[in-house]
Chains A and B, each alone.
Chain A
């Protein structure tokens, strides 16, 4: 047992089923843990895993669903702690793992020959095994047997890879696949392929643009032959001469136009020519004069309108005053009439009314007196002389008649009074209106007088008092319009010349557009010679070269893996068959074989081979799994450094004969392999104790107790 690590000792405390510290001395080649179910046997075996790999054994990636949500620490413990001692020849490896950090120490550390380290990676390098491999090739778990015998080829192949010690190669293949190099390459190929498509699309678009520009140019008078470099120089010269001549004729200056020998220079020339043209348009004298006169005309029209409005307003006011004078005279005449005629008449009428009112008042009092008498039929004393009055009713009747007569007399007098009062009021209102009109006429006349100098300034001469301002302004406007008419013709002629030059510049621009687009198309057609294209090609080649290299490596790994698998299966073939024959002892399909290409486990009868899954019962499948696990293990080809195997309850579904056969198999395992077996079955326990040849240490587990936890005893 010199080449691989064997377990010398393990101390467990507070880990799952364990509460108090227990130390197992495991120096012997065979360690048996027996006892009832749920007594802590599995916790002991799992503690070895936890010591080696920590919490990773609880993760889903391990592939054991039962481990999901596992609690490491015993619920009654304050710390889960495992200390292990392993030995390989003279090398001693001590591993300490806890779920609680103690003061001054790490939760995990290991000592290799006394050198302490806390690097998990280094520990794994020392034991030479990853957690998944441990489950498949060291600790035979029921899930692993199921993995070996599953119908899913990938899981089966994966499990066998691990048993065969091929995980490194398989993981490297997985890592290469995970890098998704082929997807990157595909993306690059797509992009590169699209360059050609995009190139054609751009060229087609530019050709369409050329067609549209040519059509526009031809509509402006160009011919198809004009769209070339040859005609553009001459056209530039024509434009230049036209601009200079126009400037000279108008007495204007323009900046010197640049040379136009090459297409680039001609484009600059066209831009400068456009600027000069804009300057000439803005500064041509006739146009300038036209603008000035139009402004003057507009100013005079505004003045004429204002003048007219002021005059109309004055005339309206004067008309109103004249109308009042004609009907009622001026203010003096109206005042005189009020004073001398209307007011005396009013006074007289009021006096007459008052006289009647006095009499009416007396009669009214008498009527009231008689109305107040409660018994009118009796004789009453006269209210004046107190002599008795015989007929009061009769007297009251006469009094009422008299009052009615007086009321009739008052009606015309009242109408007379009202007439005088209305007339006086009307005349007084008219006097007030006339006063207002006089004021307004005075003010409006003042405004008109003030407006006159503004008009005089605008027309540039004095307007005599005898002249009509509106007519004078109208005359000035007419003069301007006559000049404008003449100017309009001159401006039109100038604009025609400038428009012709502008047309030529526009044609030049259309030709340039075509020439530029044609040059761009030429560049695009030669894009494969461009540095940018070569860079794309080179970078693609680099990428493809790298992908090819990785492909070659991947192929080499695949080949090596396949060759190694075949070699190992070939080497283990005999052991697996032998173990299966010993263990299952089937008469119909006595042998077991693994197809090295499909990794299918086959039941074999002479030359007939069928998938084991299709004919085996659960017990046979368990035998098959155990045979593969132990057969490969016995082939001595494993790549890891662990020198022990663990069989946790291996006799499930096995009958008594199978169990005896299993013990025989355990005896056939080479001496340098340490075996740890747990069982709850007394039959297997007794068979091991009586028939396993190797030196043994037995730990018997009593019933688990809440207070004590697992209770193993060395027997």
Chain B
């Protein structure tokens, strides 16, 4: 059993929702794919590439809200 298969098996124990499982499996695929290309740093960059747009989206919304509040 590969490491990825072990992770997916482990996730299956805790997550019952099929859609959620699919999503997590997809992220796992990407993580292992990036790891194969260049180890820890590549994994970190992959995750940052995913979370940074979400953070930017939050920051933009936060700025607009503060503006609406007159700040």
Contact = CB atoms under 8 A, between A and B. Distances in A.
A543 B51 contact: yes
A176 B46 CA distance: 9
A560 B10 contact: yes
Contacts of B31: 172, 175, 553
A248 to B, nearest CB: 44
A712 to B, nearest CB: 35
Contacts of A171: 35, 39-40, 43
A38 interface: no
A170 B40 CA distance: 9
Contacts of A385: none
Which residue of A198, A520, A560 has the most chain B CB atoms within 10 A of its CB atom?
A560
Given A542-B57, A546-B50, A553 B41 contact: no
A532 B10 contact: no
B47 A543 contact: no
B24 A130 contact: no
Contact of B27 (A520, A533, A538, A553): A553
Nearest to A535: B61
B68 interface: yes
A715 interface: no
Given A178-B43, A556-B11, A532 B23 contact: no
Nearest to B37: A121
A174 to B, nearest CB: 4
Given A535-B61, A535-B65, A176 B55 contact: no
Contacts of A130: 39
Interface of A is mostly: helix
Contacts, number: 132
B70 A520 contact: yes
Contacts of A555: 14
Contacts of A524: 69
A559 B10 CA distance: 8
B7 A560 contact: yes
Nearest to A187: B55
A553 B6 CA distance: 11
Contacts of B43: 171-172, 174-176, 178-179
B14 A191 contact: no
A206 B34 CA distance: 53
B7 A553 contact: yes
A542 B57 CA distance: 10
Contacts of B51: 179, 181, 184, 543, 546-547
Interface string A391-417: 000000000000000000000000000
Interface in B26-71: 27-28, 31-32, 34-44, 46-48, 50-51, 54-55, 57-59, 61-62, 64-66, 68-71
Given A188-B55, A524-B69, A542-B58, 5 more contacts: A175-B43, A527-B65, A530-B65, A532-B65, A538-B61
Interface of B: 3, 6-7, 9-11, 14-15, 23-24, 27-28, 31-32, 34-44, 46-48, 50-51, 54-55, 57-59, 61-62, 64-66, 68-71
Closest 10 CB pairs of A and B: A175-B43, A178-B44, A179-B47, A556-B10, A535-B61, A175-B40, A539-B58, A532-B65, A560-B6, A174-B40
17 contacts: A121-B38, A171-B35, A175-B39, A175-B44, A176-B44, A176-B47, A179-B44, A181-B47, A195-B69, A535-B64, A542-B54, A546-B51, A552-B11, A552-B14, A556-B7, A557-B7, A564-B6
